[in-house]
Structure 1
Amino acid sequence: MYRLISATPSPYARKVRIQLAEKGIPFELITEVPWNSDTQTPRHNPLEKLPVLICEDGTSVFESRYINEWIEMKHPAPALVPGDVDGILAVKRFEIIVDGMCDAMVLMFFEKAREPGKRSAEWTARQKRKLDGGLRELSRVISDNEFAHGGVFSMADIASGTVLKYIDVRWPENPWRAEYPNLAAYSDRLERRPSFASTVPVPQVIRDKVA
């Protein structure tokens, strides 16, 4: 059985958890705070980042987008990526946008954790522009469609759904739901799926100083 090292608020780890659930692949969930000094993450990922998928033979697969691709290749049914080249590229475009949005929010989170006199308003504004740009693009491309691409549930929905819920967790005051009601309705539909409902992100307490 696979083991997945995950952090409860992580949108990156949630993508993997949802994919495994949608494919019906059993796994053991190991919850960690990767920023704490006692984390086991460095033993399995030289980059010290979560999530990490540990195989039965002890080898590890890391970086969420690579894990998603690895799982899709190892366990192709049910398919969560289209079979045609244009479809594959379209889904990957969603994943790139979403990962950029998540990266920006993580950077803002840790910038906010700095002492007030050391925070950079310019840096935070730059990250916020990335988030806003991503939201505009997701709203435009998804529009009022049930699913993000091709009329079927795919990795594009797993990626898009996780980032939207992550905004609610990390930045609840963000007005994205009012600004993009189509995305709010889309997010609510996805969160009713069992794979989403069982992986709702929850904040963790970071014990060690990291910023």
Structure 2
Amino acid sequence: MRLIGSLTSPYVRKVRIVLAEKKLDYELILDDPWAAGNQVTAHNPLGKVPCLLLDENEALFDSRVIVEYLDTLSPVGRLIPPPGRERIEVKRWEATADGIMDAAAAAFLETHRRPEAQRNTDWVQRQTAKIQAGLDYMNTLLGEQPYCTSVNLCLADIAVGAALGYLDLRSPELDWRSQYPNLARLAEKLETRPSFVSTRPPAA
């Protein structure tokens, strides 16, 4: 398998963490979806990373689709429960974490990619409010639990960890750790795992 992605994308990191936890071999192809002549557009009509190329050259895209596929490839460390209430709970965590990543990426692009005269500060504030609401929701839901849904690591924790790592990278001014101690405790634990250490994004 070949994974097209960037080192700073939290969605790519989520997939790479799953690959590491599942002990699956793959080749990482670095690509900038914003650059002219990028590689990902040839495989994903939406032009987004991550994009997973299978052996038969079939392409899978959207991190949620990719990680669900990867979890079926090996019985090692199942990350997504079978259909039922537990699975829905994991996917709810993932949806919340992905929503935080969406808002953080949108705010970063507005602030750093758009000319200053064209920036919409009200829109950025709206994205920031989404981030804070998502963090508050997850911090309360996590409580004193060791992991998001049980005593074991699952996809929910990987998605949350990727989102929190992205906030550290792109939105350090939020200082989320001081406001959300339950999430800070979880992040501290996750960041010691080899899968998180090996996929840590380069400093901004």
> TM-score higher than 0.5 here?
yes
Cα distance, 1:158 vs structure 2: 0.4
One-letter code aligned to 1:140: T
Corresponding residue of 1:155: 155
Cα distance, 1:73 vs structure 2: 2.8
In structure 2, the residue corresponding to 1:74 is in which secondary structure?
coil
Take 1:48 and 1:116, find their aligned partners in 2: how far apart are those partners? 25
Corresponding residue of 2:73: 74
- Structure 2 unmatched ranges of 5 or more: none
Corresponding residue of 1:26: 25
Corresponding residue of 1:127: 127
Deviations 1:126-172 (A, max 9, x none): 11111001100110111122111122110000000110111000011
Contact 1:4–1:28 (Cα < 8 Å) also in 2: yes
Corresponding residue of 2:145: 145
Corresponding residue of 1:193: 193
Cα distance, 1:175 vs structure 2: 1.6
Deviates more, 1:192-201 or 1:113-122: 113-122
Identity, in percent, stands at 40
Take 1:76 and 1:37, find their aligned partners in 2: how far apart are those partners? 40
TM-score (norm 2): 0.95
One-letter code aligned to 1:169: L
Corresponding residue of 2:9: 10
One-letter code aligned to 1:175: D
Runs of 4+ with >4 A deviation: none
Deviates more, 1:133-142 or 1:108-117: 108-117
One-letter code aligned to 1:121: T
TM-score (norm 1): 0.92
Cα distance, 1:37 vs structure 2: 0.6
Cα distance, 1:123 vs structure 2: 0.6
> Aligned pairs, how many?
203
Q: Does 1:35 align with 2:34?
A: yes
Take 2:130 and 2:35, find their aligned partners in 1: how far apart are those partners? 28
Take 1:163 and 1:69, find their aligned partners in 2: how far apart are those partners? 18
Take 2:11 and 2:74, find their aligned partners in 1: how far apart are those partners? 19
- Structure 1 unmatched ranges of 5 or more: 205-211
Corresponding residue of 2:47: 48
Take 1:76 and 1:92, find their aligned partners in 2: how far apart are those partners? 19
RMSD: 1.3
Contact 1:8–1:203 (Cα < 8 Å) also in 2: no
Contact 2:68–2:80 (Cα < 8 Å) also in 1: no
Take 1:137 and 1:144, find their aligned partners in 2: how far apart are those partners? 14
